[in-house]
Amino acid sequence: MAHAILMPKPGQMTEECTVIAWHKKEGDPVAKGDVLFEIETDKSTMEVESFDNGVLLRIIAAEGAVVPVNTVCAYVGQPGEAIPESAPVAAGVPAAAPTAAPVTAPAAIPAVVPAPAGVAPTLTPAGATSAAAATPSSAPDGRLRISPRASRAAAEAGIDPHTIAGTGPGGRITERDVVAALAAAARPVPPVVARAAGAAPAPTPLPVAPVEGEDESRPLTRMRRVIAERLTASWTSTPHFTVTVAADVTGLFALRSELKATGTNLTVTDFVLSATAQTLAEFPDVNARTDGVSVWPRRRVLLGVAVSLPGGLVVPVIRDADRLSLGELHDRAIELAAKAREGTLPADDMTGSTFTVSNLGMFGVEEFSAIINPGEAAILAVSSAIPTAVAIGDGLAVRTLMKLTLSADHRLVDGEMGARFLGAIRRRLEDVGAFRQAAQDA
């Protein structure tokens, strides 16, 4: 039988990918391991290989199509083999409606499906067929099929769940269906409901008068949209607080110059990553995550490093960073940053971070704070090292100071813990002897 080629799910947060190029045409022979097509996620590009031998029977997703994950993109089989009428999907994913046309992105805003007189209209995602909309979200015994969280969300929003068409397994109503129904009815989404469904409440756009000389608008890139969605959700759902210290890195810079003269090229970021990783192992609560109800401790330090790209920002992950030497941290950070800038960073190296370091010191930034990445409890912002007049005893001396700002989730980290955590990083950065020994051991 013909085998379906599904759109892979490169990352935990990835819901759709764009087909950017096909390497095979319909009718071309295909061997197991051959690259069929390339896709673009919000962070990188990757190749999709065939797991079967045969020929490419049909291409479902055309180049440029935005395709939900686990959706059929093509079929591979033996010449003349029939194409299944329904597209198989991965376990737990509702089957997609069969179509021979290229796959396009589903509309985000639901539509109101007309109903007979006297019957409340059903709210259903745009693009769904009337037959699907007519399917009631109720079991044979007449009970409404709705998840407990969706039921609470509907009650919070003041909407009758019987008017909502469910998109979950067996037509079950989910929280996202409630949010979609509110959007269809042009009703505001309560923040509690939006956060529960994993979406940020849509802000009301302020009217902006055209400005003389203003160019035509252009859409945000896919990467920028994802960054905006995730960080807006973090900022609106996570109680951020910040604390700042200034680390005296005069001795650290002198050590760096010494090492460079002997052929050991370490960056300021390497020292910061090492100090942060060791401190995270000392403060496991800062390495945890919470949804406001439960806490998930992490036994491993998976350190994210923010890397700027022309189109946005990615966060490669250094796994078990607290167990790596200075040299190993340096090599791994350089390797991941290079892959990120080349667009070849695997999805596994961009997911699962437990803490992130964002360094803008190379841009002359005196001080800044960063927004916590979703799924983490804190993020460290590293500013420039600046020569500063410092009072030492009864006199003044010029020392090189570098400000470190911790943005933390107040649900997990309080002010005292944040201050002790940041103070521990500062002490490690100022302990030049320990770094000298670590560099020699490497």
The span from the CA of 321 to the CA of 12, in Å, is 21
Spatial contact of 37 and 307, defined as CB atoms under 8 Å apart? no
Better-predicted residue by pLDDT, 101 or 389: 389
CATH, domain 3-77, list 3.40.640.10, 2.40.50.100, 1.20.1250.20, 3.90.1170.50: 2.40.50.100
pLDDT at 197: 54
Q: How far apart are CA 129 and CA 133, in angstroms?
A: 6
Q: 236 and 200 in contact (C-beta within 8 Å)?
A: yes
Q: Which amino acid is at 69?
A: V
Q: What is the per-residue pLDDT for 103?
A: 40
Q: How many CA atoms lie within 13 A of 386 on its CB side?
A: 16
pLDDT at 100: 38
Query: Measured between alpha carbons, how far is 380 from 370 in angstroms, rounded to an integer?
Result: 7
Contact call for residues 73 and 6 (beta carbons, < 8 A): yes
pLDDT computed for residue 321 by the predictor: 97
Residue indicated by tokens 């990757």: 46
Q: How many Cα atoms occupy the beta-carbon half-sphere of 78 within 13 Å?
A: 2
Q: Measured between alpha carbons, how far is 99 from 101 in angstroms, rounded to an integer?
A: 5
Q: Region 196-219: what's the mean pLDDT?
A: 67
Q: What pLDDT does 110 receive?
A: 38
- The DSSP output letter for 52 is S
The reported pLDDT for the residue numbered 28 is 92
pLDDT greater than 90 at residue 104: no
Structure tokens at 195: 């956060």
The rounded distance, in Å, linking the Cα atoms of 247 and 4 is 57
Q: How far apart are CA 287 and CA 302, in angstroms?
A: 9
The ranges assigned to domains in the chain are: 3-77, 111-196, 224-441
- Answer yes or no: 410 catalytic: yes
What the block records as the tokens of 398 is 């010029």
Do residues 271 and 423 lie in contact, with contact meaning Cβ atoms separated by under 8 Å? no
- Which pLDDT belongs to residue 205? 58
pLDDT confidence of residue 355 = 97
pLDDT over threshold 70, residue 59: yes
pLDDT, one tens digit per residue, over 318-358 is 999 999 999 999 999 999 999 988 888 888 898 889 999 99
Task: Characterize the bridge pairing of strands 16-22 and 66-68.
Answer: antiparallel
pLDDT score of 141: 53
| Average pLDDT score, the chain | 81
- Please check whether the two domains, 3-77 and 224-441, share a CATH topology: no
Give the pLDDT score at 211. Answer: 81
Asked if 87 and 72 touch (Cβ cutoff 8 Å), the reply is yes
Among 3, 23, 162, 410, the one annotated catalytic: 410
**Lookup: tokens for 326:** 């200075």
For residue 109, the 8-state DSSP code is S
Q: What would the mean pLDDT of 10-23 be, rounded to a whole number? A: 80
pLDDT for 313 equals 87
Share of the chain above pLDDT 70, in %: 78
Per-residue pLDDT, 125: 40
Cα atoms in the 13 Å half-sphere on the side-chain side of 154: 22
Which is more confident, 385 or 95? 385
Q: Are 129 and 165 in contact (CB under 8 A)?
A: no
CA–CA–CA angle 5, 42, 221 (5° rounding): 125
Interval 97-102 mean pLDDT: 39
Note the pLDDT of residue 174.
82
Which pLDDT value is given to residue 187? 65
Specify the fold of 224-441: Chloramphenicol Acetyltransferase (3.30.559)
